[in-house]
Amino acid sequence: MRTPDRTPDGAMLRDVAAIGAAMVAVGASFGAMAVAAGLPVWATVAMSTVVYAGGAQFMAVGLVAAGSPLAAVLAGLLLNARHLPFGLTLGDSLGGQRWRRLLGSHLMTDEATAFALARPAGAARRRAFWLAGVLLFLAWNAGTVLGVLAGGAVGDPAALGLDAAFPAGLIALLLPSLRDPETRRVALAGAALAVLATPVLPAGLPVLLALAALIVPLVRRRRSSGTDAAADPDGARDATSGQVVRAGEASC
C-alpha cells in the first residue's frame, strides 16, 4: 500500500535522477579529458572514487598536465574548503556512528547538501542526504568509466550546455528556502559578493568569500537590539536588573 510519506521520496528520486543524468555526462567528459591529458586509466578512476570532487578534479588534471602537481593539490584544497560549513550544517544528518560521518563527509557535495537542506531537520533530511549522496556518487563514477572507455568522443560539456545543469538544479532546490526573508537577504548578499569577486580572485575564492554574507543576520539583530534598547531604556535596565537578581538567587 502506498503511503503519503512515500510521495516526497518519489519526487526527490526524480530530481536526483535528473541531476544524476547530467553528472554522468560531465563525469564522462572528465574521464575522457583525464586520459587525453596523459593520466593513467587507473588514476583517473581512482580520482573519481577516492577524491570525488567534481570541478576540483577538472582543475587538478589541468594543473598536473601543465606540470604543477603541488598547485593542483593546493587548489583542490582551497576549492573544497566550502565543505567545512556544509559539514557543520549537516553534522546531525549524517548519523551518530563514526563510520557514517566519515562516509557521509566523502559523499558530501553541493547537490547532496542542497537536497538535504531542502527537507526539514530530522529523519527526512537524513534520508534525503543519503539518497542523493549515494546516487550522485554512483552517477559520477559511472560517467568517469564511460569517459575513459569512450576516449575523447564526449568533448566539452559546455558545448552541450551541461555546465549549466548543476547551478540550475541547485537554484531549483533552494527556491523554497528563499521564501524566508532573512535567508533571501543572505543569499542575495552572498551572490553579489561572489559575482563582484569573480573577475579579481582565483577560482574557488569567490564562493568562500560569499560566506561573509552570513554576518548579515548578526548585524541586523545587533541593530535591532540597539534600537529596542534606545526606544525603551527603562525596560532594558529592568531586564538587566532582573538578570542580576536571578544570578544572586542562584548563587545563594
Residues 154-171: b if buried by 16+ CB within 10 A, e if exposed: beebeeeebeebbeebbe
Residue 48 DSSP code: I
Enter the DSSP assignment of 97. Answer: S
Q: Kindly tell me if the per-residue pLDDT of 20 is higher than 70.
A: yes
Q: What is the DSSP letter of 118?
A: T
Q: What is the structure's pLDDT at 187?
A: 80
The answer, yes or no, to whether residue 242 has pLDDT greater than 50, is: no
Give residue 50's Cα distance to chain centre: 18
Contacts of 15 (CB under 8 A, 6+ apart): 115, 169, 172, 173
Task: Say how many Å lie between the first and final Cα of the chain, rounded.
Answer: 61
pLDDT reported for residue 226: 60
Q: What percent of the chain has pLDDT over 70?
A: 65
Averaged pLDDT for residues 3-10:
55
Please count the residues of the chain.
252
The C-alpha angle 91, 78, 147, rounded to 5 degrees, equals: 90
Phi and psi, residue 95, nearest 5°: 110, 165
- Residue 114 is predicted with a pLDDT of 84
- pLDDT (0 to 100) of residue 206: 76
What would the mean pLDDT of 69-79 be, rounded to a whole number?
A: 70
Cell of 45: 578512476
Residue 98 in this model has a pLDDT that exceeds 90: no
132 vs 233: which has the higher pLDDT: 132
Mean pLDDT of 145-156: 74
Predicted pLDDT of residue 144: 92
Q: Which residue in 182, 203, 183 sits closest to 194, CA to CA?
A: 203
E strand residue ranges, 137-180:
none
138 pLDDT higher than 90: yes
Among candidate residues 109, 141, 138, the one with its CA nearest the CA of residue 44: 141
- Who contacts 210 (Cβ-Cβ below 8 Å, separation ≥6)? 190, 191, 193, 194
Please say whether the beta carbons of 106 and 52 come within 8 A.
Answer: yes
pLDDT band at 141 (very low <50, low <70, confident <90, very high): very high
**For 163-200, what is each residue's pLDDT tens digit?**
555 566 556 656 666 777 877 788 888 888 888 888 88
Distance (Å, rounded) from C-alpha 151 to C-alpha 167?
27
Q: For residues 119-135, give the mean pLDDT.
A: 87
Q: What are phi and psi of 199, to 5 degrees?
A: -70, -20
H or E element in which residue 79 lies: helix 69-79
pLDDT band, very low/low/confident/very high, at 45 (cuts 50, 70, 90)? very high
Out of 19-23, 74-78, 120-124, 228-232, least confident range: 228-232
Looking at residue 234, what is its pLDDT? Answer: 53
Give every CB contact of residue 140 below 8 A, 6+ residues apart in sequence. Answer: 23, 24, 26, 27, 48, 52, 54
Residue-averaged pLDDT of the chain:
74
On whether the CB atoms of residues 159 and 123 are closer than 8 A, the answer is no
* Confidence check: pLDDT of 1 > 60: no
